[in-house]
Amino acid sequence: MRDLVEDIFVKNFDNELLAPLEDQARMDLTEFNALGPRLVMTTDSYVVDPIFFPGGDIGKLAVAGTVNDLAVSGATALYLSAGMIIEEGFAIKELNAVVKSMQKTANSAGVKIVTGDTKVVHKNSADKIYINTAGIGVVADGINISAKRARPGDKVLVNGFIGDHGAAIVGAREDMALKNNIQSDCGPLNHLIRDMLKVCPDIHCMRDATRGGVATVLNEFAAGSKVAIKIYEKNIKIRDEVRGMCEILGFDPLYLANEGKLVAIVPEQYADKVLDAMCRNPAGRDSVIIGEVVNKPEGVVFMSTLFGAERMLDMLVGEQLPRIC
């Protein structure tokens, strides 16, 4: 185990906080105090199947997903932990590829993996590898992003095409007998969110649209803020391949998982400035305003369709695809 930790994890995650190999990472509080008054912490576990998929892998997903959970609160993401549950017989070559991907993603996000744990379980006790990552960040003064802050007149923005991650996982699963060329949108969004906050520190609501997709996030905003949200089908970007796959399987792309898409609700007067800032960032070049917040009916999300009708978008019941992240 010592050899495994040193040869795979320490070698790839090497930084001054990890190097002592203590049972914990020791960080200077002055760094946190300089960035803001509020500490933010999150954790998530990743069991995606398959572990390698077009556009990413479980390692990239584990880092990007936790960074994004911090970033959508308005926090500057700083440090991550990584816990590995590895099945006996899992190839060292594949483990090394996953860990290298984690470090590459951490580098691109500007965060450090500073502590972790590794457990090996008997064969058939797990499915290759599961990863838990926890993250710590700091929220600056004046930022207050919450699902309860949507107000009538606010605009709803999304940073591009939706449903790509869910469709990519379907394509990667041989048992589904469906092939496509879709790449997962998996990636860190913290630099995009930083650019958005520069032009509008008063973003009202923001979440990454992972399990349950865009429609579920909007329902959470509508319920939390006691408002209605209206979106326009003509404004929503969905790739033809994603739409086609959904038609075959009976899925709605509005509920498909994303791993590199956020939904933001911003005051109307800032909407165009935020959209421009998003489009200038590589993670947001396809950003679009998809709707607006209205007064009634309270707690309801509805969509104006291409045919001029309106349909309600309820909260997703159950899960369209298991082990999507």
- The domain that contains 258 carries what CATH number? 3.90.650.10
- Determine whether 299 is exposed, middle or buried from the number of CB atoms within 10 Å of its CB (0-12, 13-18, 19+): middle
**Do 247 and 304 lie in a common domain?**
yes
**Do 26 and 69 lie in a common domain?**
yes
In a domain, 146, yes or no: no
**Do 134 and 228 lie in a common domain?**
no
What local confidence, expressed as pLDDT, does residue 176 receive?
A: 65
Mean pLDDT of 202-225: 96
In a domain, 106, yes or no: yes
Closest CA to 70 of 44, 32, 91: 44
In this model, does residue 47 exceed pLDDT 80?
yes
Q: In the listed set 83, 105, 139, which residue is the last one of a domain according to the structure?
A: 139
In a domain, 85, yes or no: yes
Helix%, strand%, coil% for the chain, nearest 5: 35, 25, 40
Q: Tell me: the pLDDT tens digits for 184-207?
A: 999 999 999 999 999 999 999 999
Mean pLDDT of 33-44: 96
In this model, does residue 45 exceed pLDDT 70?
yes
- The domain that contains 58 carries what CATH number? 3.30.1330.10
**Do 54 and 193 lie in a common domain?**
no
Q: How confident is the model at residue 181 (pLDDT cuts 50, 70, 90)?
A: confident
**Do 24 and 95 lie in a common domain?**
yes
What local confidence, expressed as pLDDT, does residue 321 receive?
A: 78
Q: How confident is the model at residue 288 (pLDDT cuts 50, 70, 90)?
A: very high
In this model, does residue 79 exceed pLDDT 80?
yes
**Do 235 and 194 lie in a common domain?**
yes
In a domain, 92, yes or no: yes
Mean pLDDT of 163-173: 92
What local confidence, expressed as pLDDT, does residue 158 receive?
A: 98
**Do 99 and 194 lie in a common domain?**
no
What local confidence, expressed as pLDDT, does residue 322 receive?
A: 84
In a domain, 262, yes or no: yes
d(CA 85, CA 139): 31
Question: How far is C-alpha 158 from the chain's CA centre?
Answer: 13
Average pLDDT, the chain: 95
Question: How far is C-alpha 259 from the chain's CA centre?
Answer: 4
Q: Tell me: the pLDDT tens digits for 244-259?
A: 999 988 899 999 999 9
CA angle 102, 104, 110 (to 5 degrees): 100
Q: In the listed set 115, 139, 163, which residue is the last one of a domain according to the structure?
A: 139
**Do 165 and 297 lie in a common domain?**
yes
Domain residues for the domain of 53 are: 2-139
Q: In the listed set 82, 111, 139, which residue is the last one of a domain according to the structure?
A: 139
